[in-house]
Amino acid sequence: MNYRHIYHAGNFADVLKHAVLALVIAHLKRKDTPFRIIDTHAGIGLYDLSREEAQKTGEWHDGIGRILADSPPPEIAEILAPYLEVVHAENVAGSHGPLQRYPGSPVIARRLMRPDDRLVVNEAHPADAAALTALFAKDRAVKVLALDGWTALKSLLPPKERRGLVLIDPPFEEPGEFRRIVEGLAAAHRRFATGTIMIWYAIKDDRAVRTFAREAAELAIPKVLSAELLVRAPLSAGGLAGSGLIIVNPPFTLESQLAALLPYLAERLGQGKGAGDRLIWLTGERVTNP
């Protein structure tokens, strides 16, 4: 396991993933009944951007850095509000000073949930799992596990609250990740058919992504929305050109929020020719933006 998220914290892919994560949680809070969030590949929770690893790549400059430097139109500001609220809360100077820390998915979830909601965070890298354990020490609303994420997924579903969100955010460092995602998606939906399941995927080679989308659609799970953001054209031998999210049982408000947010992000975070976005229903509903 070589992947360490500190090198990438706050990059363009985190912006899309975390903005959507915050929107899904905001929607879950519309009902009074408690929910559970399960984060199978959690990272360390909070990233100190002054650390050498983060400084080395500086990826957040072209991600959250560009978003914070902008004054988006009111509709976009409203969509980004739950996410940016957490980013600001983690920085001493609030919205005015330079960015010092970037919240990962566990901290975003923890800050947005209510006293009776619960969070389970799982991380397989021993050092990162230890950091996560220290971060949530004595926090009774959070359970930290250090298992293989795909194993954890099966053992944790369905949650006893029968409402909630599963976030699956694998590192894409080994071949076969798309296959594991399709299998994980099938297993998660079988155990928790009413839950919202959000899966992140890397876009490097467009052909591999299209095959994956077809296989995910063939599972015939009702209501699967896919949202992709490309910062440049994918090249088969290139690095990360974009990222996508598959969202099973998305909140009914999410499609229209993403239809507004994705073009804004593509314009703001684009790095060259081929930047763009794509929002489609893999199964269920209608095609929004073919």
Q: Catalogue the active-site residues.
A: 169
Residue count at the site for ligand SAM (CB under 6 A)?
Answer: 19
- Cβ atoms of 67 and 197 within 8 Å: the answer is no
Burial class (CB in 10 A: 0-12, 13-18, 19+), 79: buried
Within 13 Å of residue 184, how many CA atoms lie on the same side as its CB? 28
Q: Which residues pair with 63 in a beta bridge?
A: none
Give kind and range of the element (H or E) at residue 25: helix 12-28
Dihedral sign (CA 152, 156, 158, 162): negative
Residue from 22, 28, 37, 43 that binds ligand SAM (CB under 6 A)?
43
Would you say how long the chain is, in residues? 290
- Cβ atoms of 217 and 282 within 8 Å: the answer is yes
Q: Binding to ligand SAM by residue 278, rule CB under 6 A?
A: no
Closest distance between ligand SAM and the C-beta of residue 211, in Å? 22
Neighbours of 61 (CB within 10 A): 14
Residue from 59, 117, 169, 228 that binds ligand SAM (CB under 6 A)?
169
Taking CB atoms, the residue at the shortest distance from ligand SAM is 104
Nearer to ligand SAM, 151 or 256 (CB): 151
Residue from 79, 83, 91, 105 that binds ligand SAM (CB under 6 A)?
105
Closest distance between ligand SAM and the C-beta of residue 156, in Å? 12
Residue from 22, 42, 120, 157 that binds ligand SAM (CB under 6 A)?
42
The stretch among 37-45, 222-230, 244-252, 281-289 that binds ligand SAM (CB under 6 A) is: 37-45
Backbone angles phi, psi at 263, to 5 degrees: -65, -35
- Give the list of residues 6+ apart from residue 208 with CB closer than 8 angstroms, or none: 178
Classify 281 as helix, strand or coil: strand
The stretch among 35-43, 137-145, 205-213, 267-275 that binds ligand SAM (CB under 6 A) is: 35-43
Closest distance between ligand SAM and the C-beta of residue 53, in Å? 12
Nearer to ligand SAM, 59 or 169 (CB): 169
Strands 164-168 and 196-203: parallel
Nearer to ligand SAM, 65 or 149 (CB): 149
The site map against ligand SAM for 117-146 (x = CB under 6 A) is -----xxxx--x------------------
Q: Write out the two tokens for 196.
A: 């919202």
- Binding footprint of ligand SAM on the chain (CB under 6 A): 1, 3, 5, 17, 39, 41-43, 104-105, 122-125, 128, 148-149, 169, 171
